[in-house]
């Protein structure tokens, strides 16, 4: 056959080459019996297992997406609708119609972020029908490009378990802002969406190139097109190897500005991964995740047992340990119904807070310990915690995560030893987003109003000689990191997988130019405009050659 090209939308950048694996959800093959509510329960349990695996691996944003989907499938209104329709229809059709109704309701919402979740609900219905039928998505036996109508984030998560055999994704429908697209970007799987019905003219086994940078799919590529794609793969493979080789180099801009690169972690495995990727230490060690299913406040010894393995790997290195950040979507059973969160909650339980502080100091012996306080709102709160710390040499840091805390940054910094900015919550509280629905992208932190708050905090902290770190995942996005560096942030703490690219970004930048771009970004009309300013500073290689090779038999670069 002759080469032909399909045009859609770019959803996850990169190029992938492989054999087509075409997937149809066969509606005629679904069973006419079975309990649709049991099928929903099976999907919820599967999502919970996936979220736990991702969180253990340090993929917190991806775990949040699966947990959000679990909440959707457990929605009492959805279950009630499924039960009502099951009295009139066969179970598979009840699932399809109920999820379609809920998806239509979401699609009509004026908030585009919430409307985009309609796809998630539809795909949860598809997944529930699969559970009812006892079927699953096809397994790849060779390097493949998955061709499908649409996918949910859990489907993309499943592909991660295919040992790299699914190298790229091409969808007839889908959206670049969907949770599936966010998952694909996180896992480095190139994806094009909105390709239309023509995508099903592709046959199983056809050679396919997916270009996630421009949203195109080439079927039966010519020799010259194939060689060009393979050349791109090779160039980007070399770039990744260069970045790995640079792990021993300092993160310093071309004009001498030093930026400390740290990693976020919850487990000993994540700490190890961060150190192997060249992290100078840990900028955020979460402590609440070990106790989300606890039936009572953890004791001092329980805290110690949970912390010791991770901190043992940080002897002589910086170890920033955050106290319990219970509340909202991280509420254990024994605190069900609480309205407070973070440090406010812990200060209402001073005995339990003091027990954790003692355990942290014990477990962190031999490290450069910093204790980080979540959701600080006032200088008085920092003083109250300092009175509970037995070791006067322990550094106390305040997390600035709300607009009101940013407004009080000067007084909070004066009482703290360092400042940390949590961009995830700062974005959600400032823009009024629902914490249980992940923001569309970490690049939302480039909204000028968010950049203005970050700049305000940095200025206040530096005025009293305090360093500032950013520990939200936005710091791992090259363009956002450029703006943060330009605003004067001293430390960036990200997931271990982000460190190589982040180091490369820092070393390519001029701090003077980054500061100029940040000043312009503060007056930009949108996050997109602010990111464009940052992107202009990054070389063509930086903007187009950033990625890693995934897969073995085929070719994929992101």
Question: Exactly one of 102, 179, 263, 303 is catalytic; which is it?
Answer: 179
Contacts of 264 (CB under 8 A, 6+ apart): 58, 60, 270, 274, 282, 283, 284, 286, 471, 473, 493, 494, 495
Alpha-carbon span 170 to 556, nearest angstrom = 13
C-alpha distances in angstroms, 183 versus 12, 59, 60, 155, 509? 9, 10, 12, 9, 28
259 three-state secondary structure: coil
**What is d(CA 66, CA 61) in angstroms, rounded to the nearest whole number?**
9
Find out whether 147 and 23 touch, Cβ atoms under 8 Å. Answer: yes
Is residue 179 part of the annotated active site? The answer reads yes
Contact assessment for residue 400 and residue 422, using Cβ atoms and an 8 Å cutoff = yes
Active-site annotation holder among 102, 263, 303, 471: 471
Helix, strand, coil: what percent of the chain each, to 5? 50, 15, 35
Query: Is 263 among the catalytic positions?
Result: no
Q: Are the CB atoms for 250 and 338 separated by under 8 Å?
A: no
Cα 413 to Cα 70, 457, 470, distances in angstroms? 39, 9, 15
Rounded CA-CA distance 102/525 in Å is: 34
Q: How far apart are CA 438 and CA 47, in angstroms?
A: 16
- Hey, which residues are catalytic here? 179, 471
């Amino acid at each position: 056959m002759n080469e032909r090209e399909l045009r859609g939308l770019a959803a996850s950048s990169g190029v992938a080459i492989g054999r087509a694996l075409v997937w149809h959800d066969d509606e005629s093959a679904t069973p006419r019996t079975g309990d649709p509510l049991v099928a929903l329960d099976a999907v919820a349990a599967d999502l919970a297992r996936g979220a736990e695996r991702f969180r253990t691996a340090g993929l917190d944003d991806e775990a949040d997406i699966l947990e959000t989907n679990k909440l959707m499938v457990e929605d009492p209104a959805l279950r009630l609708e499924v039960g009502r329709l099951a009295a009139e229809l066969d179970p598979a059709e009840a699932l399809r119609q109920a999820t379609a109704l809920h998806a239509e309701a979401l699609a009509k919402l004026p908030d585009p972020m919430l409307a985009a979740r309609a796809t998630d609900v539809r795909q949860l219905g598809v997944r529930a029908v699969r559970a009812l039928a006892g079927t699953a998505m096809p397994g790849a036996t060779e390097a493949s490009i998955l061709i499908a109508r649409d996918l949910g984030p859990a489907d993309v998560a499943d592909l991660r378990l295919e040992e790299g055999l699914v190298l790229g994704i091409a969808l007839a429908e889908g959206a670049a802002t969907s949770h599936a697209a966010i998952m694909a970007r996180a896992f480095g799987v190139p994806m094009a969406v909105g390709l239309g019905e023509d995508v099903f003219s592709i046959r199983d086994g056809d050679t396919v190139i997916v270009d996630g940078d421009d949203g195109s799919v080439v079927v039966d590529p010519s020799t010259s097109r194939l060689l060009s794609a393979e050349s791109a793969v090779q160039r980007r493979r070399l770039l990744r190897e260069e970045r790995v080789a640079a792990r021993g180099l300092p993160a310093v801009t071309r004009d001498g500005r030093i930026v400390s690169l740290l990693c976020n972690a919850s487990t000993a495995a994540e700490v190890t991964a961060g150190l192997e990727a060249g992290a100078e230490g840990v900028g955020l060690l979460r402590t609440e995740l070990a106790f989300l299913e606890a039936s009572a406040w953890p004791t001092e010894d329980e805290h110690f047992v949970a912390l010791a393995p991770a901190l043992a790997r940080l002897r002589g290195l910086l170890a920033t340990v955050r106290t319990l950040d219970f509340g909202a979507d991280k509420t254990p059973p024994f605190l069900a119904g609480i309205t407070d969160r973070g440090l406010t909650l812990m200060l209402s339980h001073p005995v339990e807070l003091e027990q954790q502080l003692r355990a942290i100091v014990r477990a962190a012996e031999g490290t450069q310990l910093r204790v980080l306080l979540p959701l600080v709102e006032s200088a008085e709160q920092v003083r109250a915690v300092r009175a509970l710390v037995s070791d006067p040499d322990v550094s106390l840091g305040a997390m600035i995560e709300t607009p009101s805390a940013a407004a009080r940054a000067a007084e909070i910094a004066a009482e703290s030893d360092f400042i940390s900015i949590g961009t995830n919550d700062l974005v959600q509280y400032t823009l009024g987003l629902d914490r249980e629905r992940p923001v569309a992208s970490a690049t939302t932190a480039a909204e000028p109003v968010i950049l203005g708050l970050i700049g305000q905090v940095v200025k206040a902290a530096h005025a009293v000689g305090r360093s500032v770190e950013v520990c939200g995942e936005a710091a791992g996005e090259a363009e956002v990191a450029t703006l943060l560096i330009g605003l004067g942030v001293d430390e960036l703490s990200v997931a271990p997988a982000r460190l190589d690219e982040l180091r490369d970004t820092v070393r390519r930048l001029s701090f003077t130019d980054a500061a100029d771009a940040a000043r312009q970004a503060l007056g930009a009309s949108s996050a997109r405009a602010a990111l464009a300013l940052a992107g202009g500073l990054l070389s063509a290689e930086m903007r187009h050659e950033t990625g890693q090779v995934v897969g073995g038999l085929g070719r994929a670069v992101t």
